Structure 1
Amino acid sequence: MQQMATTVTLLGAASSPGPGLSAGDVAGRDGHHASLHCSRLRARKRQPWVLCSLKYGCLGVGGPGEAGSRSAASPVYSSLTAIYVWCRRTDELVDGPNASHITPQALDRWERRLEDLFAGRPYDMLDAALSDTITKFPIDIQPFKDMIDGMRTDLKKARYKNFDELYMYCYYVAGTVGLMSVPVMGIAPESKATAESVYGAALALGLANQLTNILRDVGEDARRGRIYLPQDELAEAGLSDEDIFKGVVTEKWRKFMKRQIKRARMFFEEAEQGVTELRKESRWPVWASMLLYRQILDEIEANDYNNFTKRAYVGKAKKVLALPVAYGKSLLLPYSLRNNQT
Structure 2
Amino acid sequence: MDKRIMQQCEELMKKGSSSFHRAFDGLPSPRREAVHVIYAFCRMIDDSVDEPDNSLYTIYELRDSFRNLGQAEGHFIWPALRWLFDTFPQLEREPFLLQMEGQTRDLTFTHYETMEQLETYCYLVAGTVGEMLLPVLRDDHNEEAQAAGISLGIGMQLVNIIRDVGEDLRRGRRYVPLDIMRRNGYREQELERGEVNEPFVAVVHELRREALAWFEKGLANVDTYPPESGLAVELAAAFYAAILDDVEAADYDVFRRRAYVSDEAKLQMFRRTAARYADKGRAAAY
The alignment's TM-score, normalised by the length of structure 1, stands at: 0.75
Pick one of 82, 85, 105 that aligns with 1:131. Answer: 82
Runs of 4+ in 1 over 6 A off after TM superposition: 99-102
Distance in 2, matches of 1:185 and 1:256, equals 35
Aligned to 2:6: 31
Aligned to 2:251: 304
Structure 1 gaps of 5+ residues are 1-25, 44-50, 62-73, 335-342
Aligned to 1:76: 31
Query: In the TM superposition, what are the counterparts of 1:140-289 in structure 2 within 5 Å?
Result: 140-187=92-139, 195-289=142-236
Superposition deviation, residue 116 in structure 1: 1.6
Aligned to 1:71: none
Aligned to 1:12: none
For residues 15-56 of structure 1, the C-alpha deviation after alignment (integer angstroms, 9 at most, x for no partner) is: xxxxxxxxxxx64442233224444x545xxxxxxx644323
CA contact (8 A) 2:159 2:243 kept: yes
Which residue identity is paired with 2:71? R
Tell me the secondary structure at the aligned position of residue 212 of structure 1.
Answer: helix
Superposition deviation, residue 278 in structure 1: 1.5
Distance in 1, matches of 2:219 and 2:279, equals 12
Tell me whether 107-116 or 313-322 shows the greater mean CA deviation: 107-116
For residues 67-86 of structure 1, the C-alpha deviation after alignment (integer angstroms, 9 at most, x for no partner) is: xxxxxxx2111111111111
CA contact (8 A) 2:96 2:132 kept: yes
Distance in 1, matches of 2:110 and 2:213, equals 25
Q: Which has the higher contact order (CA 8 A, sep 6+)?
A: 1
Q: Larger C-alpha radius of gyration, 1 or 2?
A: 1
Tell me whether 238-247 or 153-162 shows the greater mean CA deviation: 238-247
CA contact (8 A) 1:27 1:132 kept: no
Tell me the secondary structure at the aligned position of residue 106 of structure 2.
Answer: helix
State the superposition RMSD in angstroms.
Answer: 2.6
Structure 2 gaps of 5+ residues are 282-286
Distance in 1, matches of 2:193 and 2:105, equals 26
The alignment's TM-score, normalised by the length of structure 2, stands at: 0.88
Tell me the secondary structure at the aligned position of residue 283 of structure 1.
Answer: helix
Which residue identity is paired with 1:57? F
Pick one of 67, 71, 96 that aligns with 1:121. Answer: 71
Tell me the secondary structure at the aligned position of residue 242 of structure 2.
Answer: helix
Superposition deviation, residue 303 in structure 1: 2.5
Report the count of equivalent residues: 280
Distance in 1, matches of 2:165 and 2:104, equals 21
Query: In the TM superposition, what are the counterparts of 1:85-124 in structure 2 within 5 Å?
Result: 85-98=40-53, 106-117=58-69, 120-123=70-73, 124=75
